[in-house]
Amino acid sequence: MSLSVLSIGLLFLFGLALGSFGSVIVSRVPKSKSIGGRSQCPRCRLQIAKRDLIPVLSYLLLRGKCRHCKKKISIHYPLLELGSAILIILPALLEGYIDPFTVNLGIALWLFLLLAVMDAESQKIPDAVGLPLVAVAFLAAYLRGEISWLAPTIGGGFFFLQWAVSHGRMLGSGDIFIGIAMGFILGTWQTTVLSIGIAYVVGAIIACLFLASGKYSRGTRVAFVPYLFIGTMIALVFGDRILLSLY
Ligand SMILES: [Zn+2]
């Protein structure tokens, strides 16, 4: 399907709905809670009414407060919904068309974002989301029409080596799944290596800023998935241009 305001708009709405489901995943999966059942307000425990579950819009209409107890609703919810919607339409905008490949790639990016949020919030990278990420990223690579097996091998292998050398202390199996998914998402070993490089550079800069501000001391466990996500996004959007300028 070619791009039109209508098709992108519909895809964006689909992304908002996924984002809303994403909030449920992010707040429940790391605590091993069921993702079924309606969400409750964390303070008054009242079920959130259907009319208050419209992504972004409900937050704005309620001015960011629970309808019953007026407790502030975290800005994270509408931001996650908006971010998800942007990720869902991004591949279509990059490619200039909507097809099963661009939609699958968008869903892979959305799952990746959820893992980044969960790692940042709870230092957990649940396989219940990591494995679907690998599956959807593989499907996207298959639908792209050319699967590079080298890219996921390098992505996954890089983290597998660290995992093996540190006997699972430096990172967990979740990072290996993410490395594999990055390879499928990016499609070439060059952009995969680039994305890991960017993740380390951005991570190092942020860590220095945090150290300088005294926010955390040496030895604090740093969530790394957010940086891998940032590295992957930069490599996906600008990777070819960056690599061309390096040659
Ligand atoms: Zn409430």
Express each pLDDT in 134-191 by its tens digit.
Answer: 999 999 999 998 888 999 999 999 999 988 888 877 777 899 999 999 999 999 999 9
Q: Which residue has the higher pLDDT, 101 or 55?
A: 101
Please check whether residue 214 is in contact with residue 173, taking contact to mean a CB–CB distance below 8 angstroms: no
Q: How far is CA 190 from CA 13, 122, 195, 240, in A?
A: 33, 31, 9, 9
Cα(70) to ligand 1 centroid in Å equals: 6
Q: Is 189 exposed, middle or buried (0-12, 13-18, 19+ CB in 10 A)?
A: middle
**Average confidence (pLDDT) over 21-46:** 88
3-state SS assignment for residue 80: helix
Check pLDDT > 80 for residue 85.
Answer: yes
Mean pLDDT over each residue of the chain, to the nearest integer: 91
Cα(232) to ligand 1 centroid in Å equals: 37
Cα(65) to ligand 1 centroid in Å equals: 8
Tokens of 115: 């893992």
pLDDT band at 35 (very low <50, low <70, confident <90, very high): confident
Best CA proximity match to 82, nearest among 19, 6, 7, 8: 19
Cα(68) to ligand 1 centroid in Å equals: 5
Cα(75) to ligand 1 centroid in Å equals: 15
Check pLDDT > 90 for residue 247.
Answer: no
pLDDT band at 59 (very low <50, low <70, confident <90, very high): very high
Check pLDDT > 80 for residue 216.
Answer: no
Q: Which residue has the higher pLDDT, 218 or 189?
A: 189
Q: For ligand 1, an ion, list residues with CB under 5 A.
A: 41, 43-44, 66, 68-69, 71
**Average confidence (pLDDT) over 54-80:** 91
Cα(113) to ligand 1 centroid in Å equals: 27
Cα(217) to ligand 1 centroid in Å equals: 36
Q: DSSP character for 35?
A: S
Rounded Cα gap, residues 229 and 205, in angstroms = 16
Angle at 238 between CA 232 and CA 243, to 5 degrees: 95
Rounded Cα gap, residues 78 and 28, in angstroms = 17
Cα(112) to ligand 1 centroid in Å equals: 30
**Average confidence (pLDDT) over 204-227:** 80
Check pLDDT > 80 for residue 61.
Answer: yes
Q: How far is CA 211 from CA 199, 202, 206, 220, in A?
A: 18, 14, 9, 10
**The whole model's pTM is what?**
0.93
Which amino acid, one-letter code, is at 48?
I
Tokens of 108: 């892979």
Per DSSP, helices labelled H in 57-146 are 57-61, 76-95, 100-122, 127-144
3-state SS assignment for residue 184: helix
Check pLDDT > 80 for residue 221.
Answer: no
Q: Is 88 exposed, middle or buried (0-12, 13-18, 19+ CB in 10 A)?
A: buried
